[in-house]
Amino acid sequence: MTSGMSSAPNRHDSRGGPGDQWPPLPLSEWERTRDTLHMWMQMVGKTRLAFTPLVNHWWNVTLYVTARGLTTSAIPYGGRIFDVEFDFITHTLLIRTSDGASRALPLSPRPVADFYAEYAAALGALGIDLRISTTPSEVPDPIPFERDREHASYDPEYAHRFWRVLTGVDRVFKEFRARFIGKCSPVHFFWGSFDLAVSRFSGRRAPERKDADSITREGYSHEVISCGFWPGDNNVKTATFYCYTAPAPPGLEREAIRPNAASYNAGLGMFLLKYDDVRVAESPTQALLEFCQSTYEAGARLAKWDRESLERRSDTGA
């Protein structure tokens, strides 16, 4: 008996097609919505953190792209499981349990403090006792959820557009991930830094960073090359793709990468490529794959990764 996944070539066409069109996402048009959504995602992500065992590099806390939005996936709670999903088609936060119960909260403009109270009450009605740190992570001047009346915006058009971008990036990152047979993260969304990322590892431990906090110490315990997408933040005021190698090998900033619009940012210590340069390319899929592959090759070559044992051979789909 044989599997239908034997040695047939992978016939996926990475050049894209009629559907390979990504919408504009100017940060100036939805920054307040992004900031509010960031806080809502933090409280949901912290819920997953509270009830799941630690997985290396904090992989147990992330969210995942779905056909409707972003989900926690299954979270254990006693003898049950539950999940929480942002639905950016109906603009609803859905909480579902394995015993068939559910609650739904509308995604609509209101202060984070009100949303948090509604979210905690919905979980309580399902028999789930929410006990999390209410101080947001990885943001400047954090305001505890229950006191945050500053962030109160929600533009459904841009929330939906953001999700549409994530679906395109998720698809490309998964194709890039499939080329690697070493240790590699899922394609997942970090609610702290608010980015979608995929990370490859050499298999070797990294030197411990001086004065590292618990998040950084766990996240960078091993040599890593990570590609990701930000919708824009305080450091980079436009939607941007990035790739970094940690620890960064000498000379990385001088490496030639593709496409031509990409460059090395010395202040951030990583390669950057603006989303708009990808979006208007003849094939956004191909442009992003070139960025991921060329920046990975630059870091892996200089850091002397054992690429022969870590990379899938191009002549097989096995």
Question: Three-state SS for 114?
Answer: helix
For residue 11, name the pLDDT band (cuts at 50, 70, 90). Answer: very low
- Please check whether residue 1 lies inside any domain of the structure: no
Instruction: Measure the CA angle with vertex 243, ends 306 and 165; round to 5°.
Output: 125
Dihedral class, residue 194 (left if φ above 0, else alpha if ψ from -120 to 50, else beta): left
Looking at residue 303, its amino acid is: A
Task: Give me the helix-helix angle, 27-51 and 156-177, nearest 10°.
Answer: 60
Q: What's the confidence (pLDDT) of residue 15?
A: 52
Q: What's the confidence (pLDDT) of residue 17?
A: 53
Q: How many structural domains comprise the chain? A: 2
Question: Three-state SS for 269?
Answer: coil
- Domain edge (last residue) among 106, 126, 147: 147
Is there a single domain that holds both residue 168 and residue 291? yes
- Please check whether residue 10 lies inside any domain of the structure: no
Is there a single domain that holds both residue 169 and residue 305? yes
Would you call the peptide bond into 259 cis, given omega within 30 degrees of 0 as the criterion? yes
- Please check whether residue 17 lies inside any domain of the structure: no
- Domain edge (last residue) among 125, 147, 169: 147
For residue 19, name the pLDDT band (cuts at 50, 70, 90). Answer: low
The burial class, CB within 10 Å (0-12 / 13-18 / 19+), for 240 is buried
For residue 211, name the pLDDT band (cuts at 50, 70, 90). Answer: confident
Compute the CA torsion angle 305, 11, 196, 128 (nearest 10 deg).
Answer: -110
- Considering only 168-172, 201-205, 256-260, 313-317, which range has the smallest mean pLDDT? 313-317
* Domain span at 174: 156-310
Q: Tell me: pLDDT of 27 over 80.
A: yes
Q: Tell me: pLDDT of 243 over 80.
A: yes
Q: Which of residues 305 and 8 earns the better pLDDT score?
A: 305
